[in-house]
Amino acid sequence: MINPNAYPTPRRAWLTVFILLLAYVLSFMDRQIVYLLVAPIRRDMVLTDTKISLLMGLSFAIFYAIAGIPLGRVVDTKSRRGLIFCGVLFWSLMTAGCGLAKVYWQLLLMRVGTGAGEATLSPAAYSILADSFPPQKRATAISVYGIGVYIGIGMAYLLGGAIITWANARGDVILPLFGHIKPWQVIFLVLGALGILFALPLLAIKEPTRKGAGAGVVVPLKDVGRYIVGIRKAVLSHNLGFGCLVFAASGVGAWTPTFLLRDHGMTLGKVGLYVGSISIVAGSLGVMSGGRLADYLARRGFRDSNMRVGLLGGVLTALGGVGYLIDNLTLLWIFMFVYTFAAAMPNGVAAAAIQEIMPNSMRGQTSAIYLLAVTLIGLGLGPTAVALVTDYVFRDDMAVRNSIVWVGSIASGLGALLIWSGLKPYAQARQTLEDWGAQHGNSDGLIPAPHEGTTLQRASL
């Protein structure tokens, strides 16, 4: 007889991680490619930095966040694999649509559709991974999934830089029915086609059984809300704290290519090569190191290990933001590598932290709320904040690096403070989950940590 609470074999579990990682890479390639294409889009559509920033973040983020809440409910009750499959097809079609847009509002609408489609992925992926790995291995597994952010960003820059260099050499492309297509539009068409082709391999995912108290049970929304309200201090400090870190990272990341073009006179191809390589290597190492550090601290008895790694990343990026004022290119590349590593550390542990304070039957919905917060605060407002400071405070396109420093450092510092204020509430939330699990049947590996008094004391240091 098969034990419904047994985890998949390591081989099956890591295959699932790999497939979901590829989907995440693809989503971030589609999402981030606009960052590299600011100059040609701005030129061809005659836009300000503020209008461009809406394409980067807010148009995408609002519908990503709004769609995420009902989709989180689907994650907790329906097929997670099927939801991801439909989402990949939809956002890929919307990405291809960006390549056919002729005016600003059409491009804006396609970005809205891309955001709504991508909202299917992470809540479902977090839920699948949480049911595929025991608690003491989740931070590492989810962090491996999380490196998709930086591989996706890096591939967007590398592939985008190569394609636009090739397309610029050939000039406009003429397509039947659609007419002239600009070189930057070709990139959207290529990425959309890649996504449509990738949808079928997603069917290789075998959903793990849902584990934990109430797994597979449809919990009334009022009960989900009541549980979240009961641990609201932990949820608020987590969501707002990590949201501020994403605010800083997205604001800095969105305008780094433009800063290099304006201040250092680099070509799009060279920017794509250097920034893409740094993102893939430093970002991936940072996310993985964050997950491994969190699992190490958890083994040492720290029940808030994921939060502590987020705190560390916030402090390092708040202090390191001034590095963008470096003029020497060699030193700037070294700084950007270290800064990207530090900024990436919280990426995987933020999602893992949510899984550790919520029952299985509420994880998808709570992950969607977390993604709503970090998407609206971070992706939605980060790029626009930098653009507004450039356009209305400094009033100088060449001051974009000053805007990056101010927005990035202040947001990271605030995020670190919020996460620090949530360490004790987070430890209490973990105890609340254990008590809830004891009442409803504990089958999720929620084993009280040894020497309970010692671990609680460590968590509140």
Q: Which of 90-99, 209-218, 258-267, 408-417 has the lowest mean pLDDT?
A: 209-218
Higher pLDDT, 144 or 49: 144
Higher pLDDT, 165 or 445: 165
pLDDT for the residue numbered 69: 73
Q: Which of 90, 97, 86, 84 has the alpha carbon at shortest distance from 24? A: 84
Interval 364-389 mean pLDDT: 82
Q: Is the pTM of this model over 0.85?
A: no
3-state secondary structure of 443: coil
- pLDDT cut 90: percent of the chain above it: 34
pLDDT for the residue numbered 160: 77
Higher pLDDT, 196 or 368: 196
Angle at 59 between CA 58 and CA 64, to 5 degrees: 90
Those residues whose C-beta lies under 8 Å from the C-beta of residue 459, and which sit 6 or more positions away, are: 302, 303, 304, 423, 424, 426, 427, 430
Q: Which of 23-27, 108-112, 231-235, 356-360 has the lowest mean pLDDT?
A: 356-360
| Region of residue 181 (phi > 0: left; psi between -120 and 50: alpha; otherwise: beta) | beta
| Position 421 pLDDT exceeds 90 | yes
pLDDT digits (tens, 9 = 90+) for 286-332: 988 998 999 899 888 888 999 999 999 999 999 988 888 898 989 99
pLDDT for the residue numbered 1: 44
pLDDT for the residue numbered 449: 36
Interval 74-85 mean pLDDT: 87
Interval 197-201 mean pLDDT: 87
pLDDT for the residue numbered 446: 40
3-state secondary structure of 179: strand
| Position 180 pLDDT exceeds 50 | yes
H or E element, residue 173: strand 173-175
Distance from C-alpha of 114 to C-alpha of 6, rounded to nearest angstrom: 36
| Position 404 pLDDT exceeds 90 | yes
pLDDT digits (tens, 9 = 90+) for 201-256: 888 888 888 776 555 566 677 888 888 999 999 999 999 999 999 999 989 988 99
Helix 38-45 and helix 10-36: axis angle, to 10°? 40
H or E element, residue 102: none
Amino acid 128 reads I
pLDDT for the residue numbered 184: 85
pLDDT for the residue numbered 341: 95
Q: Which two structure tokens, joined as six digits, stand for 52?
A: 């461009």
Distance from C-alpha of 448 to C-alpha of 427, rounded to nearest angstrom: 12
Query: Rg for the chain (alpha carbons), in Å?
Result: 22
3-state secondary structure of 410: helix
Interval 346-359 mean pLDDT: 86
Please state the domain extents for the chain. 14-201+214-459
CATH of the domain spanning 14-201+214-459: 1.20.1250.20
Distance from C-alpha of 397 to C-alpha of 409, rounded to nearest angstrom: 20
Higher pLDDT, 301 or 450: 301
Interval 374-398 mean pLDDT: 85
DSSP state of 356: T
pLDDT for the residue numbered 218: 66
For the chain, the average pLDDT equals: 84
H or E element, residue 413: helix 400-421
Distance from C-alpha of 84 to C-alpha of 213, rounded to nearest angstrom: 25
Model confidence at 442, pLDDT cuts 50, 70, 90, reads low
> Beta-strand (E) ranges in 255-370?
none
pLDDT for the residue numbered 289: 93
Distance from C-alpha of 182 to C-alpha of 167, rounded to nearest angstrom: 8
Q: Which of 254, 247, 242 has the alpha carbon at shortest distance from 346? A: 242
Distance from C-alpha of 339 to C-alpha of 271, rounded to nearest angstrom: 17
Those residues whose C-beta lies under 8 Å from the C-beta of residue 18, and which sit 6 or more positions away, are: none
| Position 367 pLDDT exceeds 80 | no
| Position 441 pLDDT exceeds 80 | no
